[in-house]
Amino acid sequence: MSFDKQLIELREAVKGVERFNPANIELLEKCIDFMIKEQKYDREIVLNLLQLYQLNPNRYNKDYECLALLKALSQMPKKDFVLAKYLMIPAHRVKPEDEKTSPPNINLESVQMVINLGKVLEGNDFATFWKLVNEKYQPSGEENEPFPEPKRVKELIARCPGFIDNIKLFASESITNTFETVDTDILKRLLNANGTV
């Protein structure tokens, strides 16, 4: 089955009030799998899944939340990631050091890493993003360091094929909108033209 066929099935299943039926979580998760596999995107699937997790915390799946957030983040500069963050389960919007007070059996490190990555990209800090991706980022060692294990960022991003290409498009769009002229070396650094990815 393909993403397009899965999408047709999903559209039928989530008409009207059925959008809030927790029985659709599994179907939405399958759609996320197809989105990842086929490098496609559908905002409604991402937001609907996160909303159902919010309404049904007992059905929450950290891995799919991470993938949904990554897919939304890959759509920058659209506001999908901002919307997705607001639909996260409130108890999951904690920092890793607050995990002791979070619901049991939930490892929020990956979720927080996506949120921190979103802050970097929302701030158009492409130099930091490429350092993370190319494993050249040096953690500050401070208590509130957003990426204490920068190697894990590349592993996380690797779970979402096409993410890097989408961010390159976002970076080039941001550069075009920001600069009339730009030095070649700066442009290469912002677009990771000399990078390994």
The verdict on whether omega for the bond into residue 146 sits within 30 degrees of 0, i.e. cis, is no
Q: Is the pLDDT of residue 194 over 90?
A: no
List Cβ<8 Å contacts ≥24 apart for 161-164. 161/36, 161/37, 161/39, 162/39, 162/74, 163/70, 163/73, 163/74, 164/133, 164/197
pLDDT band at 93 (very low <50, low <70, confident <90, very high): low
Entry pTM: 0.84
Specify whether the CB–CB gap between 96 and 64 falls below 8 A: no
- pLDDT of amino acid 91: 58
Domain ranges for the chain, please list them. Answer: 3-191
Instruction: State pLDDT tens for residues 116-163.
Output: 999 999 999 999 999 999 999 999 989 889 999 999 999 999 999 999
In tens, the pLDDT along 2-35 reads 878 877 887 777 777 888 899 999 999 999 999 9
Burial 134-170 (b: 16+ CB within 10 A, else e): eeebeeeeeeeebbeebeebeebbeebeebbebbbeb
Q: Which amino acid is at 140?
A: S
pLDDT at 99: 43
Write the CB contacts of 176 (distance below 8 Å, at least 6 apart in sequence).
none
CATH architecture for residues 3-191: Alpha Horseshoe (1.25)
Determine the Cα–Cα distance for residues 48 and 46; give it in Å rounded to an integer.
Answer: 6
